Homo-oligomer: A and B are copies of this chain.
Amino acid sequence: MPKPGPHGGELALIERIRHDSAQRFVQRRSRFLMLGIGDDCAILRPPAGHEVLVTTDFTIEGRHFRRDWHSPESAGHRCLARGLSDLAAMGAMPMAAFLSLALPRSCKKSWIDRFFLGLRALGDRFSVPLAGGDTAESPTELIFADITLVGTAPAGRALRRSGARAGDVLYVTGQLGGSAAELDLLPSGRGLRVRGGEEDKHPQMFPEPRLAVGEALLRRGLAASCIDVSDGLSTDLAHLCRESEVAAEVDEAALPIHPLAGKLVRETALRAALHGGEDYELLFTAHAGVRVPRRIAGVAITPIGRIVRARAGKAAVMLVRADGTRGELKPGGWEHFRGISV
């Protein structure tokens, strides 16, 4: 069909991505990738007896990142981290990533290069090759990036949202609220420069997908259900309850608050931990009697509540406050930050 005049940089961009990826591929000899960028499809070979897991996440400038807040490396890291976290939540091992990218004509080469640096640095750490995708010129001044992650898990054993039962203990990995807190603490109107090697102190800019924890939960048969905390604890716990047809109680005093959130006033910190989202920690349940270690793959595991029976007309999630009073915990990942929304 008629298309805009050829985007000068498009073929060159594809070639560059391909060249870089091919180099990485040769270096890494990915065990799953049979054929990468350059044909009509990529070819993956999952281990025998394994299933294939697929997730896609659409990252839109202004909505999921801002060029004046997030460095290009952070934007690239975050795209991939969103997808990897979905695989982690099901206990899957990543095989390959695919990126569809629409870039404005005005986008500088250095921004693109640094975006891929951030994406690749995370991919390399988890041996995830960039195996394909699509590039196009964005007809607006905004960047659109859709990431697809393809992973693998032993057949029939992937962790699901739907496995929670009344009596299960509710756990969360790591700490909550750091991602939202980091934005709250951003120097107003300016992006944050993160020093190399200090990425782990920046849960908003460089969130850490919990792949090793998810994989261990599956392998050791510890988790009955699991979801990642991408939209906020209140929202994601509601998802888990709905899929499992159960209700839950969260103990406010037990919540592991991220040190960055600890710098905020108590009420704001709590809001960040309950509703902030983008922490990319795992929220999972274990049947009563299952011994869950306090650390898995070096990550703290904290019991924060319990699963109870769902009752018609009753709230799905209750918050038990430090003073013993109880109140409904409504899903509120987005509303609470509306005040500073982009």
Contact = CB atoms under 8 A, between A and B. Distances in A.
Interface residues of A, number: 84
Contact of A51 (B43, B55, B87): B43
Most buried by B among A3, A51, A96, A134: A3
A179 B1 contact: yes
A132 interface: yes
Contact of A342 (B3, B42, B92, B278): B3
B334 A40 contact: no
Interface in A304-334: 334
Interface string A74-111: 00000000000111011010001011111000000000
B243 A38 contact: yes
A158 interface: yes
Interface in A223-260: 226-228, 243
Contacts of A57: 100, 134
Contacts of A211: none
A166 interface: no
B34 A55 contact: no
A158 B54 contact: no
B342 A4 contact: yes
A264 to B, nearest CB: 14
A2 interface: yes
A281 interface: no
A161 interface: yes
A56 interface: yes
Nearest to A98: B56
Contacts of A335: 5-6
A267 interface: no
Contacts of A96: 54
A139 B60 contact: yes
Most buried by B among A2, A65, A96, A228: A2
B39 A90 contact: yes
Interface string A32-59: 0011001111111110100111111110
Given A39-B162, A132-B55, A227-B40, A63 B3 contact: yes
B54 A148 contact: yes
Contacts of A153: 43
A41 B227 contact: no
A107 to B, nearest CB: 15
A27 interface: no
A340 interface: yes
A72 interface: no
A177 to B, nearest CB: 12
Contacts of A119: none
11 contacts: A2-B340, A2-B342, A40-B55, A41-B87, A41-B151, A42-B53, A45-B52, A56-B100, A134-B146, A140-B140, A146-B146
Interface of A: 1-6, 34-35, 38-46, 48, 51-58, 60-65, 85-87, 89-90, 92, 96, 98-102, 131-140, 142, 144, 146, 148-151, 153, 155, 158, 160-162, 179-180, 183, 204, 226-228, 243, 277-278, 334-335, 337-338, 340-342
